Structure 1
Amino acid sequence: MKTRMLGGLEVSAIGLGCMGMSQNYGPADRGESIAALRRSLDLGMTFLDSSDMYGRGHNEELIAEAIAGRRDEVVIATKFGIRGWSQDRSFELDSSPAYAKQACEASLRRLGVDVIDLYYLHRRDRSLPIEEIIGGMAELVTEGKVRHIGLSEVSEDTLRRAHATYPLAALESEYSLFARHAEPDVLPACRELGIGVAAFSPLGRGMLTGTVRDLAALSEDDYRHTDPRFQGENLTHNLALVERIQSFADEAGATPGQIALAWLLAKDEHIVPIPGTKRVRYAEENAAAAEVELTKDQVDALDALMPGDAVAGERYPEGIMRTIDA
């Protein structure tokens, strides 16, 4: 597996998003999830992304079990800042330095490690100045509990102010052929400031793989039953877009998911997609995407097939959208 730099942190060119092993995408299968984690490490996909909110700590504990005896092989990223859900179905946020310290200590215990390689603020609590928030996170670096810090889903202004307070290694942002909202301002700012980008949901929450055709095939507790892009006419419209990627992938001799990941890799050398899976076979397919090299003409063709305004529907339900710093 090739490697890339997120700020001063070297990671595998493709990482593994671990959220679905604990929530949102149907019943968890501990045995299969552990197998997928270990197979990912075997394939060199050693950049693992988690959060203290994924399964209310379950995800970090799962990672701890999977990496036992292999800590030196992995780069662990986890997040804090979401305490839970509010009554209006938005996130209850806490970005305070006091909570950062408390949350970090709890994550270290669950992960069974002495230091977290990359610690993100999951969502910004806009009631606090970003400078105060970053100051609290920087203290964790000084104390040796965290090696690098980053932010998730923030605006260009927040990003610049934060980086001026303490250098950020990475921004975690949704970025894919289906989510290009960060291209006009946030991604150029990352490039200018030397901040890497960890692209989450690089497969459009599964839609870009071409395997999700009907919500009826998903379990009742699958998050996508509430995702605007998977509803009614939006789904019909978006599946027609996926057909474009399928045709492109057939000609290129790869799967649609691999093309979606290769497109991200070709966009910038400091972008690292972190596709989520809880299945060994999909971990293997995703890892193989690192060997799919697209030409500039192919990247341009994909840009034209999936322009930024092509996808129908918001990225999240209304309550979650309100918590995004944008």
Structure 2
Amino acid sequence: MNTLGKSDLNVSEISFGCMSLSENQAQADALLHKAYDRGINFFDTADLYDKGMNELHVGTALKSMRQKVVIATKVGNQWRPDGSGWDWNPSKEYILKSVEQSLRRLQTDYIDLYQLHGGTIDDPIEETIAAFEQLKEQGKIRWYGISSIRPNVIREYVKNSNIVSVMMQYSLLDNRPEEEILALLNEHQISVITRGAVAQGRLLGKKEGAYLQFTSSEVTKAAKNIGKLADDLNKQKIDVALAYVLSQPAVASAVTGIRTAEQLDEATKALKEWPQLTEDQLVELRQQVRTFTYDAHR
């Protein structure tokens, strides 16, 4: 377990990404209960997923163990009335309205971690922060964070808010956070929750092709290096891929998308078996891929 930033939330190193959870409630119940029994206590959803139904499935599944789990959800994407898509809305009014709907769907009196689901530097950031602070004072949320990869947005929240976490994409094949953001957040005792640690399965050899700025051959090379180190350590590829991100001091948990029992087995095995990589091993993995940085929103 790791403490999430300056909060009192203790979260498992591997967290359950609920976005792809089955719409069958019985299946969702079984999978989430099994995850908890195997050591996962941190479950991440969003009001955007399946137009709120994902929150309902998660809330129903976890209701009987509410006090034992950490539930995170997100806000800021407003579905259009005709269901054709969503628009960005970080206003205080919208956040205060949306939290009531999330609480109702999650069937709980409080949300452990409420996250802004995106954000730009042009947002009314002071207003957004005020909404989260008000909800915290009211006891409707325990803590809040943001989900963003934009350095300029992250810096604003670091300076002006009491966020305890930032969710961001980070993996061996997306090393952009290593330029400055990981160190900045660690310095301010703000935890990182990673997503995409296996690069959509490419680092596990489950999917081929280019990824972000990397060519297909570069992706294959990175996956082979992950595999080689896994073999040397008598581990699985997922153990090493997750260990790469979890080795960063700022990282508290790696969200892993789980939909099937097989994926849960893989994730919970990794939870118990991910290796503590040495500095030499980390450097060797890192030297095999090109460095690139965020070229926008800096």
Fold match, TM over 0.5?
yes
Contact 2:25 2:61 in 1 (8 A): no
Q: Secondary structure at the match of 2:177?
A: coil
- Which letter does structure 2 place at the counterpart of 1:296? E
Q: Secondary structure at the match of 2:257?
A: coil
Question: How many positions carry a matched residue from both structures?
Answer: 292
How many angstroms apart in 1 are the aligned matches of 2:192 and 2:243?
15
Alpha-carbon spacing, 1:269–1:97, altered in 2? closer, same or farther (3 Å): closer
Alpha-carbon spacing, 1:278–1:30, altered in 2? closer, same or farther (3 Å): farther
Alpha-carbon spacing, 1:125–1:84, altered in 2? closer, same or farther (3 Å): farther
Question: 2:284 corresponds to which residue?
Answer: 301
Question: 1:170 corresponds to which residue?
Answer: 165
Question: 1:160 corresponds to which residue?
Answer: 155
How many angstroms apart in 1 are the aligned matches of 2:297 and 2:25?
34
- Which letter does structure 1 place at the counterpart of 2:238? G
> Which structure is higher in RCO with an 8 Å CA cutoff and minimum separation 6?
1
The match for 1:257 among 233, 238, 254 is 238
Q: CA deviation at 1:117?
A: 0.4
Uncovered stretches (5+) of structure 1, i.e. residues with no partner: 23-27, 215-227, 315-320
Q: Report the TM-score, using the length of structure 1 for normalisation.
A: 0.80
Uncovered stretches (5+) of structure 2, i.e. residues with no partner: none
Contact 2:18 2:43 in 1 (8 A): yes
**Runs of at least 4 residues off by over 6 Å:** none
Alpha-carbon spacing, 1:270–1:309, altered in 2? closer, same or farther (3 Å): closer
Contact 2:5 2:190 in 1 (8 A): yes
CA displacement, residues 150-175 of structure 1 (integer Å, 9 cap, x when unaligned): 01114333323323333111000111
**Does the alignment pair 1:191 with 2:173?**
no
How many angstroms apart in 2 are the aligned matches of 1:286 and 1:111?
24
Q: Report the TM-score, using the length of structure 2 for normalisation.
A: 0.87
Contact 2:197 2:242 in 1 (8 A): yes
Question: 1:21 corresponds to which residue?
Answer: 21
How many angstroms apart in 1 are the aligned matches of 2:155 and 2:221?
37
**Does the alignment pair 1:282 with 2:277?**
no
CA displacement, residues 172-196 of structure 1 (integer Å, 9 cap, x when unaligned): 0111112111111211110111100
CA displacement, residues 274-305 of structure 1 (integer Å, 9 cap, x when unaligned): 11111223223222323322222222222123
- Which letter does structure 2 place at the counterpart of 1:109? R
- RMSD value over aligned CA atoms? 2.8
Alpha-carbon spacing, 1:306–1:125, altered in 2? closer, same or farther (3 Å): closer
Q: CA deviation at 1:126?
A: 4.2
